[in-house]
């Protein structure tokens, strides 16, 4: 079966089971744009959750706003309880001294709270992205801190980067301009560099000290 058809079927089936209770997290990287393009075929007003950490590249924010307007997205910006300025006043520059805590405060906690209203969480994760994702399943169970369990759908789990780019090209999806500068995995600006290891797209994240922020490792049922 064509990978795109297979992904669409997975999305359609999951969204039918959880009608009105689905959301999609979007970092506005290529994979997320592909899966968002597919999911919108089945629910045009699907809630699109974006983690507004306060540390994004200006290019990411500009691209987010452009695509949200162009596609008429039901965009929900999730923010930490503390603003960037409040966090730095209380704890200093955590992305330099304690990046795990910074990710927890600005990403993990806001997302886990933001997922509470939903039963289905759709992502653009792929096994090829990182060694930490090599066992990724198309459908998993996610446990939220409240104890609630929801379905986590990764319809592009088996896709290659070439397949992502091919789909984007066929469907004329413009990509985040930072890819043209050599970035392969794009998160918060202070913690994102061009890849140190060409075989590992996420090797430019967090200065090579870690590969995950925690939002895709917290509460996952194996």
Size of the chain, expressed as the number of residues it contains: 222
Q: Residue 187, Cα to own-chain centre: how many angstroms?
A: 9
A 10 A CB-CB count for 156 gives 29
Phi and psi of 207, rounded to 5°?
A: 60, 25
188 is catalytic: no
**Exposed, middle or buried: residue 79 (CB in 10 Å: 0-12, 13-18, 19+)?**
middle
A 10 A CB-CB count for 93 gives 12
A 10 A CB-CB count for 160 gives 13
Which is nearest to 216 in space by CA: 128, 126, 91? Answer: 126
Q: Are 49 and 25 in contact (CB under 8 A)?
A: yes
Of these residues, 102, 103, 188, 213, which one is catalytic? 213
Q: Are 41 and 8 in contact (CB under 8 A)?
A: yes
Catalytic residues: 213
């Amino acid at each position: 079966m064509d990978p795109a058809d297979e992904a669409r079927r997975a999305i359609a089936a999951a969204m039918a089971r959880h009608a009105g209770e689905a959301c999609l997290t979007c970092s506005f990287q290529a994979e997320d744009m592909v899966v968002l393009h597919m999911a919108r075929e089945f629910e045009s007003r699907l809630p699109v959750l974006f983690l507004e950490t306060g540390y994004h590249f200006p290019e990411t924010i500009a691209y987010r706003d452009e695509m949200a307007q162009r596609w008429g997205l039901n965009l929900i910006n999730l923010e930490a309880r503390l603003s960037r300025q409040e966090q730095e006043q209380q704890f200093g520059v955590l992305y330099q001294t304690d990046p795990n805590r910074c990710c927890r405060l600005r990403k993990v906690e806001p997302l886990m709270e933001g997922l509470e209203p939903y039963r289905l969480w759709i992502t653009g994760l792929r096994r090829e992205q990182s060694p930490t994702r090599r066992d990724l399943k198309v459908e998993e169970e996610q446990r939220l801190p409240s104890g609630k369990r929801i379905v986590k759908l990764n319809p592009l789990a088996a896709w290659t980067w070439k397949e992502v780019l091919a789909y984007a090209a066929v469907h004329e999806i413009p990509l985040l301009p930072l890819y043209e500068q050599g970035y392969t995995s794009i998160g918060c600006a202070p913690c994102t560099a061009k890849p140190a290891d060409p075989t590992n797209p996420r090797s430019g994240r967090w200065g090579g000290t870690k590969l995950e922020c925690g939002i895709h490792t917290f509460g996952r049922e194996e």
